[in-house]
Amino acid sequence: MFSELDSKLNPVKVGFIGFGTVGQGAAAVMVRNASEISRRAGRDIIVKSAAVRDISRQRAPELCEIALTADACEIVNDPDIDVIVEAMGGDEPARTLLLQAIANGKHVVTANKALIAVYGNEIFEAAREHSVSVAFEAAVAGGIPVIKTIREGLAGNKIQWLAGIINGTSNYILTEMRDKGRDFADVLAEAQALGYAEADPTFDVEGIDAAHKLTILASIAFGIPLQFDSVYTEGISHITQEDTAFAQELGYRIKHLGLARDTGNGIELRVHPTLIPERRLIANVDGVMNAVLVQADAVGPTLYYGAGAGAEPTGSSIVADVMDVVRVASAAVDNRVPSLAFQHDALNQSRTVVSNEFETSYYLRILAEDKPGVMADVTRILGDEAISIEAIIQKEPADGTSKVPVILLTRKIVEGAMERAISKIEELDSIEGSVTRIRVESLG
């Protein structure tokens, strides 16, 4: 699309489909830093037009020169536009519009993690067929350039595992529960009032948003196709204030963690609440902030921290992607950095590990009768599954009740064995209700 003559004479023209918080944030960065961007990219980059829901809505003064339309197809089919920025979110019509833009020979930049996680394989294949680039740094961890870092900065390494706090809403809720002793429902309502959580918070608190992001990180880390359906996903709605307090007493903090690991027998892909030793840097990432910890063979552990959302942090990543597209547009497709880090014909089909094969330590919270022999029954069941106990906390029963909370911390064991043990413990007459189970990762 970009000829050598074009690169010397003509500015690159960008069109936005979706011009809400993120889209306007990216456009504002482009306008405000236009001179700096031109110096870095070697070419002027201007925002020509944007597709919006409401043309009459007032926007920031610096965005007034951008032509607006209610028809996204006008942007996608405009022969004068070189790069499409998709910031509308959701599956459709975003997927159809991006595929049409690619068919029209336009490069694409997107912040849409769900679209990439679920349809990325199809989108990247179409981009290869039409010799255009698809960039998606803003899809994971907002303003943190973690995709570029893993794909390019750590390209000489074999990635062993990565772990990320990659959903700010869940991290905010767990931080408030721990620091202020508040209940999940109360903090969630506050997060919704503050705009950190959607009216329907399911994607955030049940781990779906984090699973989309983990799918992308794992693909570029291990050279596997995107496979969102293979991610084990568990939310935080069952975590209580008591769990956060007990974890702290044991020297841990509960984080909603996305974890991908090359086990040698397959790739683990899992999102779930996790106890992490409080001495780890990632355990001290609080509020709405994000962080990704990567363990690689040559460089060792590296941690990437920053704002995981917001208009200009996410916009920063979008602008960087646009600049990358401009820099490499005239290069042959095979000479560009592959979208998923590995050459498309070198992606491997490593199996993904099913959940009953996970191997980790566990935190168990049991509500038991305060009488002799109960703990003997529990430890016998654990022993039958070869589960070793690392620590025990037993509290005094509350006034007027004979039930006592018992906290167990186990050593590493295969999840299938733990599932069998929990099922047997819950069958004991001396145990009330379900056993609360949270996985434990040392991340060492």
Decide: helix, strand or coil at residue 35.
Answer: helix
- The alpha carbon dihedral of 152, 157, 158, 164 has a sign of negative
Residue 288: HSE in the Cβ half-sphere, 13 Å Cα cutoff: 17
Active site residue 113: no
359-369 vs 431-440, strand pairing mode = antiparallel
Name, in order, each residue with C-beta under 8 angstroms of 74's C-beta and a sequence gap of 6 or more.
49, 51
| Strand partners of residue 275 | 254, 440
Cα distance between residue 76 and residue 178, in whole Å:
47
Q: 48, 113, 148, 213: which one is catalytic?
A: 213
- The residues facing 393 across adjacent strands are 407
β-pair partners for 268? 261
Cα–Cα distance for residue pair 260/352, rounded to 1 Å: 10
Residue type, 62: E
Residues found in the chain: 444
Helix (H) and strand (E) counts in the chain: 15, 17
Distance (Å, whole) CA 212 – CA 231: 9
Whole-angstrom CA distances from 194 to 6, 188, 189, 198 are 46, 10, 9, 10
Q: Annotated active-site positions, please?
A: 213
